[in-house]
Amino acid sequence: MKTDDLIGMLATGIEPVPRRAATRRLAWALAAGVPLAVAIMLAGYGPRRDLVQAMFWPMLWVKILFPAFIAWGGFLMAQRLARPGVRVGLSWLLLAVPVLVVWTMALQSWFFQPAGERMPLVMGQTWRTCAMSIAMISTPTFVAGFVALKGLAPTRPAWAGAAVGALAGGAGAAVYALHCPELAAPFLAVWYVAGILILVALGALLGPRVLRW
């Protein structure tokens, strides 16, 4: 077979990838994963009993919004990393800034407390279960995110997997916040961030294996 014939055969039937394909696939992953995460939270944990009253407390919204912004940053990074040659740009700031803000709040709270009251702020009442609960609640979105990326073309699969981990972990932490009784900034800075990092690390490990093409 001549080279020109081979090239023509390989090119037959090739169609351009639809615009915003990565964004749509990841949006579908969120639409599939987050309701399942809410279902896991409701069935396995239940919302906090004073949730309606707590909605008027600023720290509850901090607890919900800071992981939600991390999820948004993971979404933007993942949809960029899903396309060959597209730079991440400044989307990483949506991962770094929320963590920096909550750590700043945590340090201020830590230093203004008497020495004997500092560790209880970090440990709270649920430190043993918080990070792993976030990881478990995040699992549906994590799996759906990988399925979404599997049909695309990430050229940096470890980074793409880590971005999916940030997306899933942030969304899962925001859902878990509706159950979690903890409100202290030092607790959030350690255990919520740890729960999200579990998914980020797992995504970075699985990316090169699952997202190869």
User: What is the residue type of 200?
Assistant: V
Task: Compute the distance between CA of residue 159 and CA of residue 163 in angstroms, rounded to an integer.
Answer: 6
pLDDT in tens, 50-105: 999 999 999 999 999 999 999 999 999 999 998 877 777 777 888 999 999 999 99
Are 92 and 162 a contacting pair, CB within 8 Å? no
User: What is the residue type of 14?
Assistant: I
| pLDDT score for 4 | 54
Task: Compute the distance between CA of residue 141 and CA of residue 108 in angstroms, rounded to an integer.
Answer: 33
Task: Write the DSSP string, 192-208.
Answer: IHHHHHHHHHHHHHHHH
pLDDT in tens, 14-47: 444 555 778 899 999 999 999 999 999 999 999 9
Are 201 and 138 a contacting pair, CB within 8 Å? no
The tokens 């750590």 sit on which residue?
Answer: 103
Nearest to 122 by CA among 185, 51, 201: 185
